[in-house]
Amino acid sequence: MALGLMGLFIIHPRQPKYRVDRDFAFMLSEWRIDVGTMRPNPNEMTDFNVFSMNARIFPGTEPMVAKLGDRVRIRFVNLSAMDHHPMHLHGHTFRVVETDGGQIPESAQQIETTVLVQVGSARAIEFVADNPGDWPVHCHMTHHTMTQMGDKFPNTIGVKPGKLDEKIRSSLLPGYMTMGETGMADMGTMGMPVPRNSLPMMGGPGPFDYIAMGGMFTVIKIREGITSYDDPGWYRHPEGTVASLAAADALRRDGIDATATPSKSDEHMGHHHG
């Protein structure tokens, strides 16, 4: 049985038509790890809560590094028990060049930004790193880029707790805090202690703000002029290419009053669409 499974994941050697400068491989896995426990639950078949690349989750995943102009190959092997993984690359298009069945003829290679890696299968993609920057590579199943998710928590989206926290802290639980009224993305920035052998819910620090991702997520860093493939840190965007808050005088020049109170119609639109 073990030999049979190993056979599923072999990408057959070939003589590439193009030189490959950078070659990366990711084993995609899913786990049921209850908070505070020491081992995954091998009997779980549906309710997985940790999704990893090479047994690590973002921000613990190691970034890929490439020089501008490198031809990059990324191999994805899906070891998950139940879930397929549509693996998505930002900033570039790629060709799907191989499966676990062998090389795909060039005439049949699809140009994609997402490749579906089914359970027990492998896919290899290739592209030229011609767009400098820090580009995410991640599963496009939204909950696979999160960690320690579960369904045993109350849904407080949109709830306005008012003085509830104050009342509970004064009479029942001194450290109580209602969480999740606007989602859970901001919880990673609060620095609260977590149970032993537990993982942050999701996310890590980024160049502009907290990156509300985790799980099956990493970054390829493409740079011009680097002399090694060591992590170069976050990309420094050229001046004038990054949006910023408008200055007060610029707003006045354009007839915008930033201190104006929103109208009822604006509040209504924001409530439903913001």
Structural Rg of the chain based on CA atoms: 23
Q: CB–CB of 20/13 below 8 Å?
A: no
Rounded mean pLDDT, 40-62: 90
CA-nearest of 83, 145, 140 to 115 is 140
pLDDT confidence of residue 270: 47
Count H helices, E strands: the chain? 4, 14
The pLDDT assigned to 16 comes to 56
The number of angstroms, rounded, from the C-alpha of 250 to the middle of its chain's C-alpha atoms is: 35
Task: Round the average pLDDT of the chain to a whole number and report it.
Answer: 84
Residues 45-81 as b/e (b if ≥16 CB within 10 A, e otherwise) read eeebbbbbbbeebbbebebbbbbeebbbbbbbbbbbb
By mean pLDDT, which of 31-40, 85-94, 216-225, 236-245 is the weakest? Answer: 31-40
- pLDDT tens, position by position, 164-216: 888 999 988 888 888 777 776 667 777 777 777 777 666 888 898 888 888 89
pLDDT of residue 269: 46
The CA distance from 169 to 72, in Å, is 54
Give residue 122's pLDDT band: very low, low, confident or very high (50, 70, 90): very high
Res 110: pLDDT: 93
